[in-house]
């Protein structure tokens, strides 16, 4: 007897009601004919900074996603002065999030939770579906047409919802994602414009996906580019 993942295959019919630029995007990714994605293991390298006046820190990270139910866990290590002193863990599951950081693996320097962090984590999850685009076809996702180059996308989970706007080029490649997202600042939160411009593309598991990108706070005082990433590995449906 075939298992659930082998029987659940993406078809052309699943794309028919999507806005035109989203259909173009899905065809670019190559999802048609592929099995549904249940879980994802993703590895990243890059750099991160906490503010314009703070130094960039080299970073290595591993992120695990689930699509049913939606969740993620992101673990990263940052080098400070060439030494891997700072580690961070961001988690989202069942509508709730936690963000924690430690020095030398022992001293907790932040541990943040709450509804505004939940909103930020849900928005992040929505934007990061670009690395497992089959999830954009899920029942918890709705699309609304805007124009030929963009569409509004909404993610619902645990009685909550977040919305963003995705931008695509004429080939169907994802170009950017924008949304209102809560930003944590010394224990407080500010609802700001946020974007994730994409800088490069590649192929993992026969899917055409973004490989290089940024995350940017688009503030009245000017853009704050705070993370730059390169994806070096993506594995699908590895959980037992």
**Can you give the pLDDT at residue 1?**
32
**Can you give the pLDDT at residue 81?**
76
Domain total of the chain: 1
Vertex 53: Cα angle to 107 and 112 (nearest 5)? 35
> What CATH number corresponds to the domain at position 175?
2.50.20
DSSP per-residue string spanning 165-217: EEEE-TTS-EEEEEEEEEEEETTEEEEEEEE--EEEEEEETTEEEEEEEEEEE
Could you tell me the pTM of the whole model? 0.94
Question: What is the Cα–Cα distance from 233 to 216, expressed in whole angstroms?
Answer: 23
Q: Mean pLDDT by 10-residue block, N- to C-terminus, for the chain (240 residues)?
A: 60 97 98 97 96 93 97 94 84 96 82 95 98 98 98 98 98 98 90 98 98 98 97 90
Q: Give the number of residues written for the chain.
A: 240
User: What is the domain range of residue 97?
Assistant: 4-236
């Amino acid at each position: 007897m075939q298992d659930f993942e082998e029987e659940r295959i993406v078809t052309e019919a699943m794309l028919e009601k999507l806005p035109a630029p989203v259909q173009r995007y899905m065809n670019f990714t190559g999802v048609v004919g592929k099995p549904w994605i249940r879980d994802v293991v993703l590895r990243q390298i890059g750099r991160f900074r906490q503010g314009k006046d703070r130094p960039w820190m080299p970073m290595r990270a591993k992120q695990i996603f689930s699509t049913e139910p939606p969740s993620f866990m992101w673990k990263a290590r940052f080098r400070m002065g060439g030494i891997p002193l700072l580690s961070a863990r961001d988690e989202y599951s069942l509508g709730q999030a936690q963000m924690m950081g430690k020095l030398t693996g022992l001293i907790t320097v932040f541990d943040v939770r709450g509804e505004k962090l939940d909103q930020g984590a849900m928005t992040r999850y929505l934007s990061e579906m670009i690395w497992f685009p089959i999830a954009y076809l899920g029942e918890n996702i709705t699309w609304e047409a805007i124009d030929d180059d963009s569409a509004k996308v909404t993610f619902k989970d645990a009685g909550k919802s977040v919305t963003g706007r995705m931008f695509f080029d004429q080939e169907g490649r994802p170009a950017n994602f924008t949304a209102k997202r809560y930003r944590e600042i010394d224990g407080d939160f500010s609802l700001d414009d946020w974007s994730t411009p994409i800088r490069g593309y590649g192929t993992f598991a026969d899917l055409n996906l973004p490989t290089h990108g940024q995350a940017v706070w688009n503030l009245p005082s000017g853009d704050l580019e705070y993370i730059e990433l390169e994806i070096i590995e993506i594995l699908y449906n590895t959980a037992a």
